Amino acid sequence: MGMTMTQKILAAHAGLDSVKAGQLIEANLDIVLGNDITSPVAINEFEKSGAHGVFNKERIALVMDHFTPNKDIKAAEQCRQVRNFADKYDIKNFFDVGNMGVEHALLPEQGIVSPGDAIIGADSHTCTYGALGAFSTGVGSTDMACGMITGKAWFKVPSAIKVELVGKLQKYVSGKDVILHLIGKIGVDGALYRSLEFTGEGIASLSMDDRLCIANMAIEAGAKNGIFPVDDVTLEYCKGRCQREPRIFEADPDAEYDETIVIDLSALRPTVAFPHLPENTKTIDEIGEKEIKIDQVVIGSCTNGRLEDLEVTAEILKGKKVAKHVRCIIIPGTQSIYLEAVRRGWVEIFIEAGAVFSTPTCGPCLGGHMGILGKGERAVSTTNRNFVGRMGHIDSEIYLSSPAVAAASAVTGYITDPTK
């Protein structure tokens, strides 16, 4: 029996000719990732173990992004602990205020992750790097500590769901709508501990930003990972960027999948996930003319803070004003994206429209800072989770959408179709 793309990567990193679903393996790791919330716990376990060094100072990435610039004393102490650890062990990929970014936007941009890699990160959205044809998945801080020491991790080889993409997206329909549609179809546990393997001729029309967004939210369907094949779009993105040569793995023709789901990209419409689960989706047409009044819009995060996201936001906000009762917060994924937005004149558009343009941070996504919701408030957000209390008060509501829907909604003050 043949192997899926994910299974081939895991077999190679375990030094095995083949693996099968359910098999337990120990795999060598290319990158171990942590942030300012999860790294301190991992560092504590690292020190308890009596370890005297890391497996490879160039294969660990520590990104201060969740509560930075430090929002309070506890956040400051957490970052200080990670800074000291990075200095002690000469960690090459350490990113702090001034050169940081939201981790899952930053690592691909900096070429730290490459096609064919095996990656773990103490953050659930580490699955983002599957967009590059890598196996990447989130783990706990204890696993992160073990990974930093040994450069290895245990895995149960996942079975897979094939997601076949056909057609081409219409204007103002993006990768965010693709993944929300899929989660709405299969549910938040529909891919539980399985790999979402994206295939089909429709992939060629998806930009890297689209793919990164889709892979990012694989975890919201319960998946162990999401993964795209390596094609010309991938290789062009990697050119002059990646720190390692791409390793290309392809699924065998007789690879076994639990099921196949076909999505016609041309038929998709802007999609919104209603409170309080990402699976609670409606198309913009199903929402209809009913006005869902909002108080805040957040455009950013590891899901939608990339260049194309800011570009469509600027296109929609240009010459318009944010509704009087709406707070519009726009957050670039990295410093490089921030600078490019300045160069292209988008920041002027945002500010003239009445929006706030922030330093890169995860802040509001997890109810950390830079946009907390009060009781009864509603937000349209391009982030990845809308659980109860995720962005603030337990009686607030989060509607997940694409940047196009979010920007259009910021102008009207209620959830709005950007295609009209």
Tally of CB atoms within 10 A around 81: 15
Look at residue 354 and give its three-state secondary structure: coil
pLDDT of 419 above 80: yes
Return mean pLDDT, the chain: 96
105-124 confidence digits (pLDDT tens): 999 999 999 999 999 999 99
pTM of the predicted structure, to 2 decimals: 0.95
pLDDT bin (cut points 50, 70, 90) of residue 367 is confident
pLDDT of 1 above 90: no
19-42 confidence digits (pLDDT tens): 999 999 999 999 999 999 999 999
164-219 confidence digits (pLDDT tens): 999 999 999 999 999 999 999 999 999 999 999 999 999 999 999 999 999 999 99
Domains of the chain listed by start with CATH number: 5-15+24-264 (3.30.499.10), 272-412 (3.30.499.10)
pLDDT given at position 285: 92
Residue type for 2, please?
G
225-252 confidence digits (pLDDT tens): 999 999 999 999 999 999 899 999 999 9
